[in-house]
Amino acid sequence: MDYNDKFDEIKLHSALPRHIGIIMDGNGRWAKKRGLSRLAGHSEGVNSTYEIVEICGEIGIEVLTIYTFSEENWHRPDWEVTALMKLLVATINKYVDKLDEKNVQIRVIGQLDKLPQAAQKTMISAIERTKRNSGLILNVALSYGGRQEIICAVKSLITKVQLGEISPDEINEWTVSNELQTADQPDPDLIIRTGGEYRISNFLLWQIAYAELYITDVCWPDFRKSHFIDALWEYGNRERRFGKVTEQIQPQVIV
């Protein structure tokens, strides 16, 4: 079955995840293979990012979270961090008008205040510009780490207990989830990782407890709509049981 047939089947059966997270890996390896600089790989990856954001909006995905810059990425060489921040600013400035026209709402998860001032200003402007849009929510994970997010949630709950706003017995999965930066969003149904590595890399650790994982050897700069449809196709043919047995659920199966 080709790309268009798969796309038609997916739309027909509505076997779509509500929230997709993407670990966009392989930019450096893509560039190295071609004798290019790492920055060239990151730059080409921007084209893949826009293409996937575009199709998510077109087919009705509610939330897309892209792992743009992790907390651990600060340990990369200074020149690369500086180049990535400049690329972030250039990318948002280039695409914010198009994203606004497509009704995309831009948000940031992570520690925005750790970014350089130019990057902070650009992201805040994009958030403000698109905050009233009602289409795809695009979470841009910047200086983000799943462990760090959980620590912040724990600290917030401790403060609420100390202030008498809640009791320790009231702390449960819901109250923890409500302290996370994705509190008003459904948990991810599907996590896509490009570049062939088999790890989560501190990405949405709490939220992905029952997410389906899709790992492809395709490096991010080569990952386009056809690869994305392949991921949705596989997702739609998996049986999601959430701890139950097959007989207790209504499977999402594309036939």
All structural domains of the chain, each given as residue ranges with its CATH number in brackets, are: 20-234 (3.40.1180.10)
What pTM was estimated for this model as a whole?
0.92
Is 189 assigned a catalytic role?
no
pLDDT (0 to 100) of residue 2: 64
Q: Which of 25, 27, 133, 189 is catalytic?
A: 25
Is 217 assigned a catalytic role?
no
Q: Which of 5, 27, 47, 73 is catalytic?
A: 73
pLDDT (0 to 100) of residue 96: 98
Long-range contacts of 195-201 (CB under 8 A, 24+ apart): 195/25, 195/26, 195/29, 195/219, 195/220, 196/26, 197/25, 200/23, 200/146, 201/23, 201/25, 201/67, 201/70, 201/72
Q: What is the mean pLDDT of each run of 10 residues along the chain (255 residues)?
A: 66 79 98 97 98 96 98 97 98 98 98 98 98 98 98 98 97 98 98 98 98 98 97 89 65 51
